[in-house]
Amino acid sequence: MGHFGRVCRGAEKKICGMGKDSCSSEETDSSDDENQQAKSLHLLHLKSLRTHEVGNENDMPRDNEWWETVQVGHGRLQCQLDTGAQASVMTAKQLKSVAPNARITKTYKRLVLYSQHQIVPRGCTTLKVKHKEKEIKVKFFIIDKAHNPILSGKVCKVLNLVKRIHEIDHNLKELLIQHPDLENATRSIPGTYSIKIDPTVTPVVHGPRRQPAALLPKITSELKEMEKRGIWQK
């Protein structure tokens, strides 16, 4: 494999950084055929994932992240709500704490980052996740590297943890009633401004600004219309 494959790639710890180093996810189905197992499978982009040394998870800064404590299996986990992820993830250590008897099934899927680095999960398992009165079964990918549990965007939506708002529709008449100054777009600015010329300064002649020939008729027409409305005068 060479130095790069044995050393550089092997020493990598970071799955994906937060903020500027964030990444996203994508999931596709893989074939069970043995010939397909060696191929690179673009299955999942995990947004805002960062690995941490075991024992330091409680030291993570969470002021700017979305977190929610939910019932997972027989325990409770504080999970990160990630609308950009299309799969849910937890570590083997976290799985043991909430469902020690859970069965991990083999998977040929890979976690693929924007950098095209792949993470091979140990497997996957299905656990019950409950938030308030809503309870669903969630498929988790189990990995060995330490990081915080992730709930995918689909799971967050089903559990009513997030809601997508497509559009905010305001009535034009209501807006004009609330903001009457918007109806009259042209008006004079209060106050008087005085421009003074310094006679000691040498005058400089600047040539007229060039305008595209195609726009000249429209510009002339608009200037005449503004003159008729009293916005400006010659």
Q: Where are the domains of the chain?
A: 67-159
Q: How far is CA 121 from the centre of its chain?
A: 24
What share of the chain has pLDDT > 70, as a percent?
65
Question: What is the SS3 assignment for 105?
Answer: strand
pLDDT of 85 higher than 50: yes
Q: What residues pair up with 105 in beta bridges, in sequence order?
A: 124
DSSP tag of 44:
B
Report residue 13's pLDDT band, with 50, 70 and 90 as the boundaries: very low
Mean of all residue pLDDT scores within the chain: 73
174-195 residue pLDDT tens: 777 887 777 676 767 778 888 8
Residue 32, by phi and psi: left (phi above 0), alpha (psi -120 to 50) or beta? alpha
pLDDT (average), residues 20-46: 39
List alpha helices for the chain, DSSP H: 2-3, 92-98, 153-158, 172-178, 216-228
Of all residues in the chain, what percent carry a pLDDT higher than 90?
26
Rg (CA), the chain: 30
How many whole angstroms separate alpha carbon 152 and alpha carbon 120? 18
Weakest mean pLDDT among 51-55, 99-103, 171-175, 205-209: 51-55
Whether residue 133 has pLDDT greater than 60: yes
- Residue 124: its pLDDT value, please? 93
| pLDDT at residue 16 tops 70 | no
CATH of the domain spanning 67-159: 2.40.70.10
Whole-angstrom Cα distance, residue 141 to residue 150?
Answer: 10
| DSSP 8-state class, residue 72 | E
pLDDT at 125 exceeding the cut of 50: yes
Burial of 150 (0-12, 13-18, 19+ CB in 10 A): buried
SS3 150: strand
Region of poorest pLDDT, from 38-47, 134-143, 179-188: 38-47
Confidence of residue 206 (pLDDT cuts 50, 70, 90): confident
Which long-range CB contacts under 8 A does 231-234 form with residues at least 24 apart?
231/186
| Cβ–Cβ under 8 Å, residues 47 and 25 | yes
Q: 28-32, 74-78, 214-218 — which one is most confidently predicted on average?
A: 74-78
Give pLDDT tens digits for 161-172.
988 887 666 677
pTM of the model: 0.49
With cut-offs at 50, 70 and 90, classify the pLDDT of residue 126. very high
Q: Among 174, 154, 173, which residue's Cα sits nearest to residue 164?
A: 154
- Structure confidence at residue 40 (pLDDT): 40
